[in-house]
Structure 1
Amino acid sequence: MDQIEFFDIPSPCKRICETDKQGYCVACYRSRQERFNWLTFNDSQKKEVLRLCKQRALKRHYLLLQQQRQKLNSIPSQIELNF
């Protein structure tokens, strides 16, 4: 049994609208097509877009964390000081 939706699903737009190399918005993680067609999507399509956005955000955060770890691992742990 499907749950009845009482409220419209709001757009995830953050009003930044800047895209990355893959073509996804850096703020809301939607593709160009997803942004342009949001108002024509039904609720199930909007939920799917939101699910994809969450997945993209988690992937981006994971990749950024990996990059930070690589930078930290490349820094020498101690510098020898000769007094």
Structure 2
Amino acid sequence: MHDEVQVASPCIRHCCLDGDDVCVGCYRTLSEILDWSYCNSKERQQILARCKQRKIKGNRNTNCGGKQ
């Protein structure tokens, strides 16, 4: 029997897309957010790794209500 580990969404309910369509809260792209529920655990872990890299880069191109 194959038990897949559940990978929790990184959403922190601070949703606002920057100029590159990356969420300023969780660092997922719009397509990653839309695809999340269809991804398996391995794909979700890959998304989280990309989010971590985006967060480290820290370059934000946003004007979400004047807040960053």
TM (norm. structure 1) is 0.64
Q: Which one has more relative contact order, counting CA pairs under 8 Å at least 6 apart?
A: 2
Please identify, of 22-31 and 5-14, the stretch whose mean Cα deviation from structure 2 is larger.
5-14
Q: Give secondary structure in 2 for the equivalent of 1:37.
A: helix
Structure 1 ranges of 4+ moved more than 3 A: 4-7
Please say if residues 26 and 51 of structure 2, whose CA atoms lie closer than 8 Å, have aligned partners that are also in contact: yes
Q: Give the Cα separation in 2 of the matches to 1:55 and 1:47.
A: 13
Hey, what does 2:66 align to over in structure 1? none
Which structure carries more helix by proportion?
1
For residue 7 of structure 1, report the CA deviation from its aligned partner.
Answer: 3.9
- Share of identical aligned residues, percent? 34
Structure 2, unaligned runs of 5 or more: 61-68
Deviations 1:12-69 (A, max 9, x none): 0011210111110001000011001111001110000000000000001xx58xxxxx
Hey, what does 2:12 align to over in structure 1? 14
RMSD of equivalent CA atoms = 2.0
Greater gyration radius: 1
TM (norm. structure 2) is 0.77
